[in-house]
Amino acid sequence: MNEFNNPKQVHPPLGAYSHTVTVPPNATWLVLSGQVGVDAKGKLRAGMRGQAVQVFRNILACLRANGMHKEDLVKLVVYVTESRLIEEYRVARAEMLGGDVLPASTLLVIDGLAQPDMLIEVEAWAAKG
């Protein structure tokens, strides 16, 4: 089982994440390509909330397809195109992952993604012992 930890020598997390995750030596790793707010029919969802929810639907579907669950997430790298959209992302993440899934996480504000209407992309790593 993955072990989530926040060392006392480091400031408390500034959001819903853990500073470190230890993965057991015999774990199976799953690395997900960046997921965007496009559904299975190829439609880009509207707005940050719609796109962020779809991103996490895509991540959860990829996990399930590989015999994993949201609790197996160990790292997220989140790219958003505007800092004013971060709170909407956080709300969608909490809705889709709950408050008890706290993988290591990095959030970056960038100038743009592969298509101009895309507002968010999330890379994910998971491991199951």
Output the CATH code of domain 36-128.
Answer: 3.30.1330.40
- Give the angle 58-61-65 at the CA atoms, nearest 5°: 140
pLDDT of residue 18: 96
Which residues in the chain come in under a pLDDT of 70?
none
Tens digits of per-residue pLDDT, 82-98?
A: 999 999 999 999 999 99
pLDDT of residue 45: 98
Give counts: helices (H), strands (E), the chain: 2, 6
pLDDT of residue 82: 97
Domain boundaries, the chain: 36-128
